[in-house]
Chains A and B, each alone.
Chain A
């Protein structure tokens, strides 16, 4: 949580994901969206800012013999970048953006990952289409089995939802970092609710598929979704857990 100013307007801190470490310290990558980020643009070198963190749970470690598919949409690269650093040449990065101008850190990323596949809405770089389109193309052509991959994704909600549909269909494991309005970042304000399946839930990764199968067998399950908190329980959640 970064406090953008000491005045009372804007009042609340803004949640950001950690971008990367540098010799000078930790870095954040952000897009100017509203008055908070506009004020952050005005931060000066050497200025002391107020920051509360690290908070919440990050991406889980990669299991053995799995290939990481990093999927980033827009400014989601701020969260995916450090995974590209960590997984390096093992990883394949799918990066979607509006146009060539909104692609960030491209040269660095090329050097980090095994393969960088770009999709832009206007086709100015890479393939014309969304990051989900390029992901689908890749999965059609690849020789590896879908279950050899683990998805790590960050981007706008519609993109994450589309990824979860692909993952469900192909029975792929995956984790995504989600956003929600939040005030405190520590689980007190209860603002950043996200709808998730009530445990224990079946997943396409275990046997039998989703809950419907259980109901066919006549077992009564309480399928009412519940809320978890993005700040404390997330921001990273298993794809199979989220109710979109």
Chain B
């Protein structure tokens, strides 16, 4: 059985990664997960200088999901290269680093340094909803996005370049195309969806930052739709993210067109989620007698609706 997938020129042993911001720098979960088994680890967003993040409360639970406004707390490039990257390099897994900056120059500096340090991939965060001067200004303006991606493209030699787009843009297809035309090797979809939760007893927001990003199973159908729309617009691979809790969810994303998936909130709920998803995918392929996982990528047959007996299974 072939579980390998290709994201640009990066070959992953399986399509399961960890979503940025939900798996720390890998080390935090190494007690529970054999990192060697993962397709790749996408680490928490790194900025040039360390960031302290937002005041608490930073998260709250909502039905089948959670809101977060962590505020991109991270150790900064220098400490990442010195302390975090050497640890990850001990493992036989893809290392993808999510980066964010306040200017194109900052993105270039970060990606150059990380490319030189030998990471396998760089994920451009142009979609964090939780900081005022964050990536989102780059992800919601077409010209700025095109300029950012193409400039970074020129400074990255061996790592693959992934653009993580925001879900809340006018046309996901147009933004996906811009990312592709500007030289991205892949697209990550989706980031969290900006949302608010209010405590009606006090009339105050549940998060200190008022707005947070919604993640978890609640956003999965939205994410599937966005992945499918993007898949129909571009040729580069898509990394599907959004409320994946188990193998079935991951497979659903791949049918919608994702070449790989990243597990996010599920890591918090069950530290072993990633491994269980890999094993579940293997069982599914075995049961369906599929030799190569790549066969199911984009396998959604949108010309027909489900037949009667399968439609009754939700009962």
* Interfacial residues, chain A to chain B (CB-CB below 8 A): 3, 8-13, 50, 52, 180-184, 186-195, 226-227
Contacts and interface: CB of A to CB of B under 8 A. Distances in A.
Contacts of B23: 188
Contact of A195 (B55, B68, B269): B55
B61 A10 contact: yes
Contacts of A188: 22-24, 28-29, 267-268
A181 B268 contact: no
A182 B28 contact: no
B3 interface: no
A11 B52 contact: no
Interface of B: 21-24, 28-29, 31-32, 44, 52-61, 63-66, 68, 70, 73, 216-217, 245, 265, 267-271
B58 A3 contact: no
A82 to B, nearest CB: 24
B217 A11 contact: yes
A196 B59 CA distance: 19
B68 A186 contact: no
Given A11-B61, A188-B29, A193 B66 contact: no
B29 A193 contact: no
Closest 6 A-B residue pairs measured CB to CB? A188-B24, A191-B59, A183-B268, A184-B268, A188-B28, A8-B64
Contacts of A182: 59
A181 B73 contact: no
Given A11-B64, A186-B28, A188-B23, A193 B269 contact: no
Contacts, number: 91
B53 A190 contact: yes
B126 to A, nearest CB: 21
A186 B32 CA distance: 10
B28 A193 contact: no
Contacts of A192: 56, 58
Contacts of B32: 186
A22 to B, nearest CB: 27
Given A8-B216, A188-B22, A181 B52 contact: no
Contact of A191 (B28, B65, B68, B269): B68
Given A3-B269, A188-B268, A194 B56 contact: yes
A227 B52 contact: yes
Contacts of A187: 24, 28
Contacts of B271: 52, 184, 186
Contacts of A226: 52
Contacts of A10: 61
A194 to B, nearest CB: 7
Given A8-B216, A11-B216, A180-B56, A189 B70 contact: yes
8 contacts: A8-B64, A9-B63, A11-B269, A181-B57, A182-B59, A188-B28, A189-B22, A193-B53
A6 to B, nearest CB: 10
Nearest to A185: B268
A26 to B, nearest CB: 20
A191 B22 contact: no
Given A184-B268, A186-B28, A189-B21, 4 more contacts: A8-B216, A12-B66, A13-B268, A194-B56
Contact of A9 (B64, B70, B73): B64
A52 to B, nearest CB: 7
A191 B58 contact: yes
A121 to B, nearest CB: 20
Contacts of B29: 186, 188
Contacts of A3: 269-270
Central interface residue in B65, B73, B268, by most chain A CB within 10 Å:
B268
Contacts of B28: 184, 186-188
